[in-house]
């Protein structure tokens, strides 16, 4: 069982990176692949080794908290690895825990791939299993990065405002994001979700 991998990012796509570990390339699915592209130094990813009948897949996370949250999400009926990965692409572990503890269905249903029934199952299955003692900090939802469905439906400009805010939370500067938007806005149809715009912007940022 692989617990973590440390190596250089040799290649990346919208859903995964290829991590070069002593000249062996491991394909690792991760919540925000382009967030790992900003350095030429070795990165460490904590791994969940997922085995099914037709495939063996590696899912990687930059923190133990993300790794643990991913495994907890897999315990929820109806949530598979790809949905769990989308959830962690949309919100930090502490934000997700806070929403579950507060039974905040509104926040949970704004996460990629999570509908109302799945949000209810998350609360039912995980509220008493997250190992949280005491009350949830009042500011735990402050950095909650979510896909705003209302913004997504209203067109490119408003969707981009939400995507830009989320990308700022990942550490990108406003000038970088404005440059990415200038390069991509002519190809935006207005039907893209915030998640799609984030991925397009990250591609622009990676290309420079």
Q: Where are the domains of the chain?
A: 4-61, 65-126, 149-207
State the pTM of this model. 0.65
pLDDT at residue 38, as a whole number? 59
pLDDT confidence tier of residue 156, bands split at 50, 70 and 90:
low
CATH topology of domain 65-126: DNA polymerase; domain 1 (1.10.150)
Q: Which two tokens stand for residue 25?
A: 């390339």
∠ at Cα 58 (61, 200), nearest 5°? 65
Interatomic CA distance for residues 97 and 57, integer angstroms: 26
**pLDDT: is 127 or 138 the higher one?**
127
Q: Which two tokens stand for residue 176?
A: 């970088």
Interatomic CA distance for residues 112 and 157, integer angstroms: 20
Q: Of 20-29, 40-49, 173-182, which range is least confident? A: 173-182
∠ at Cα 67 (13, 161), nearest 5°? 55
By the 8 A CB rule, do 82 and 35 touch?
no
46-63 residue pLDDT tens: 999 998 878 889 999 999
* CATH fit for domain 4-61, picks 3.50.50.60, 3.40.50.800, 2.40.50.140, 3.30.590.20: 2.40.50.140
86-108 residue pLDDT tens: 899 888 888 899 889 889 998 89
Please, what is the average pLDDT of the chain? 80
Whether 65-126 and 4-61 are alike in CATH topology: the answer is: no
Helix (H) or strand (E) segment spanning residue 203:
helix 194-207
């Amino acid at each position: 069982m692989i617990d973590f991998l440390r190596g250089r990012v040799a290649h990346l796509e919208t859903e995964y990176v290829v991590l070069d570990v002593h000249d062996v390339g491991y394909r690792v699915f991760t919540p925000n692949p382009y967030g790992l592209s900003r350095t030429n130094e070795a990165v460490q990813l904590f791994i969940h080794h997922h085995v099914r009948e037709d495939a063996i897949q590696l899912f990687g996370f930059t923190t133990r908290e993300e790794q643990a949250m991913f495994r907890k999400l897999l315990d929820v009926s109806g949530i598979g690895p790809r949905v769990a990965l989308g959830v962690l692409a949309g919100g930090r572990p502490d934000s997700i825990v806070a929403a579950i503890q507060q039974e905040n269905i509104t926040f949970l249903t704004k996460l990629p791939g999570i509908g109302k029934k799945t949000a209810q199952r998350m609360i039912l299955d995980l509220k008493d299993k997250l190992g949280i003692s005491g009350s949830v900090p009042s500011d735990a939802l402050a950095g909650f990065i979510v896909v705003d469905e209302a913004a997504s439906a209203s067109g490119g400009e408003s969707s981009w405002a939400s995507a830009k805010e989320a990308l700022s939370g990942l550490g990108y500067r406003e000038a970088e994001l404005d440059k990415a938007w200038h390069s991509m806005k002519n190809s935006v149809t207005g039907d893209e979700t915030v998640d799609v715009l984030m991925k397009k912007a990250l591609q622009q940022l990676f290309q420079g």
